[in-house]
A and B are shown apart, each in its own frame.
Chain A
Amino acid sequence: MNRITRAAITVPVVGLTALLASAGPAAAAEGSAQADLTPVPVNPVNASGRGEVEISGTTLSFSLAAQGLLAGAPHAAHIHFGESARNECPTASDNNAAPLPGESDPHEHFTTTEGAPAYGEIVVSLTTTGDTSPSSGLAVDRFPVGDHFEYSRGDVQVSEEVAQAILSGKAVVVIHGVDYDGDGTYSAGDRGVSDLDPSLPGEATDPALCGVLNASQVSTQPVGAVAAGDGSSSADGGSALPYVLGGLGLTAAGGAAFAARRSSRATA
C-alpha cells in the first residue's frame, strides 16, 4: 500500500507532463462547428441559412438562421446524425430510393425519409423553447416561423456520441417545410400527407435546407487581441535602454542575428 502510494506520488512528475502533452485539446468534446445551409435537391426551395453550434462536454448551444423559406409557417429544424448514414446532405440520386406512403408524385418531392441514408435520424430538435430531444422533432408549435428568422439557445443536452459526431463533422442540420404548390401554406395538395406523421401535410415536414456541420479548425476562438508585451522595450515605456543581454549563448546569438537584420534594413 505504502509503495503504491509513493509510486503514485513520485512517478507523475514525468508522467503528468507526458499526459498533458499527449492529451491535447481533443480529449474532451469541446469546440464549435458551422453549417452553411443550402436547398436540398429536387424540392423547389429558394432559400439559404446557417447553423452554428458550440459544444462543451455534452452541453450544446446553437444559433440558427434562415431566409427565403415559406412565410408565416413553422419550420421544423434538427441536427441529424446516423451511425450508418453517409453523414452528408442528400443528392438527387437519393430521390425515390424507396417508394413512400403519402407521396403522390415521387419524382417531384424529396421527403425526409428519402434523405435519411444521407443524414441519418434526428438527434437534436432545434426548438425555440422546451424539450430538444428527438421526440420534439415535429413539435411545430415550438419551431421558428417565417421566411426570415434567427435564434439561438444554450444548455441543450446531448449524448457524448452526438457531441463527438458533431465535432468530427458527421452531423447535419436540416430545416424542413416546402410549399410545393406555392399556395402560401402547408397543404396536402399533390404532395399528400407526411411520411413522418400522417396527420401533417408532407409540405410541413419535407426537407428544405441542409448543411453538414463542419468543426472549426480552431475549436474556440479567443476574444479580442493578444496582450503580448508589457511595454518595457518601447520608447514610451520608459524603462532602461539599451538592453544588455548576457549569458546564454542562444539568446546572444539570437540578438546578434536580429540586430544584424535590423541594421541591414535600416541601411537598405
Chain B
Amino acid sequence: MFAAAGMAAVVLLPQDISGPVRLDVPVAVDAAPVTLTPDTSTRVPGPTSPAAHSPRLPASDPVRVRIPALGVTSRIMHLGLERDGSMEVPPGAYPVGWYDRSPTPGQLGPAVLAGHVDWEGEPGAFYGLRELRVADIVVIDRADGTVATFRVDRVEEHPKDDFPTKDVYGDIDHAGLRLITCGGAFDEDTGDYLDNVIVFASLTATG
C-alpha cells in the first residue's frame, strides 16, 4: 500500500507542534490514506465479549509491525536482557524489537515491543507512538503467516524512575500488546529521556 510513495523528502519539525508541518511528498495523500478520515474497514471494533472469549493465537514469532495511523512499518528483531537486567533495545532507529521473554503477539499475556523514538538524528520506528489514540490499530505479521490485529486501549507516559512494571509486564487475562519508546524531556547528563511512552493494546482480530 505504500508502494506509490516514490520520490520523497519529508520535513518534520518534531518539537514544534503549533508551527507549520511542511510536507514535501506529492504522493503522500495517495500513499498514506491514514486515520485523518478513519477508514472503517481497517478499524476493528473494541472487545465486547468477556476475556475468556477473547481471541488467542498459538505461539509464533512476530516478524513485522504495521501501525497504519502513523504510517509506520518495521521488521521485528528479538530482544533479550542486558547484563544489568534491563531490556535490550534495537541497535538503531529501525527495526522494532520484540522482548522474547514475553508472549508472542497473539498469545495470552502481554507481548512487549520496544522501538526507538530517535537514534542518531533519525526518528525511530516508534517516533510517533505518543500520537496514537484509543481504537487505533497495530498489526503484527507472524512467522507462521498469521496476522494479529490489536486495538489501542490507552497511551501512557511515565517517568523512567517510576516505570509501571506490573502494568506492563504483569499477567493479564487476554492477548495484549505493549509498545514502548522514550518520551518526555531529554536529560543531557544521563543521555536519556526522562519518560517512557507506553501503548497498551488488545488483540481483536486474527487472520
Chain A contact residues, CB within 8 Å of chain B: 20-22, 24-26, 30-31, 214, 216-237, 239-247, 249-266
Contact = CB atoms under 8 A, between A and B. Distances in A.
Residue of B12, B192, B196 with most partner-chain A CB within 10 A: B12
Contacts of B72: 254, 258
6 contacts: A228-B182, A229-B182, A231-B193, A243-B14, A249-B2, A253-B2
Contacts of A24: 59, 61, 100, 104
Nearest to B180: A226
Interface residues of B, number: 88
Contact of B121 (A22, A239, A254, A266): A239
A258 B128 contact: yes
Contacts of A266: 17-18, 21
Given A253-B25, A256-B71, A257-B69, A25 B100 contact: yes
A255 B109 CA distance: 31
A256 B193 contact: no
Interface string B16-46: 0110110101011001101110000000000
A223 B86 contact: yes
B69 A261 contact: yes
Interface in B128-146: 128, 131, 143
Residue of A21, A22, A230, A247 with most partner-chain B CB within 10 A: A230
A260 B169 contact: no
B199 to A, nearest CB: 12
A216 B12 contact: no
A249 B116 CA distance: 20
Residue of B13, B71, B89 with most partner-chain A CB within 10 A: B71
A203 B186 CA distance: 61
Interface in B68-102: 68-73, 78, 81, 84-87, 89, 99-102
Contact of B118 (A232, A246, A259): A232
A222 B131 contact: no
A25 B107 CA distance: 13
Contacts of A259: 10, 12, 21, 23
Interface of B: 2-6, 8-15, 17-18, 20-21, 23, 25, 27-28, 31-32, 34-36, 59, 61, 68-73, 78, 81, 84-87, 89, 99-104, 107-110, 112, 114-124, 126-128, 131, 143, 158, 160-161, 163, 165, 169-172, 180-182, 185-188, 191-193, 196
Nearest to A31: B101
A216 B18 CA distance: 44
A26 B117 contact: no
A254 B165 CA distance: 30
B186 A234 contact: yes
B81 A258 contact: no
A226 B71 contact: no
B89 A226 contact: yes
A225 to B, nearest CB: 4
A21 B75 CA distance: 13
Contact of A260 (B9, B34, B102): B34
Contacts of B182: 226-229
B8 A227 contact: no
A230 B103 CA distance: 27
Contacts of B121: 232-233, 239-240, 243
A229 B124 contact: yes
B171 A217 contact: yes
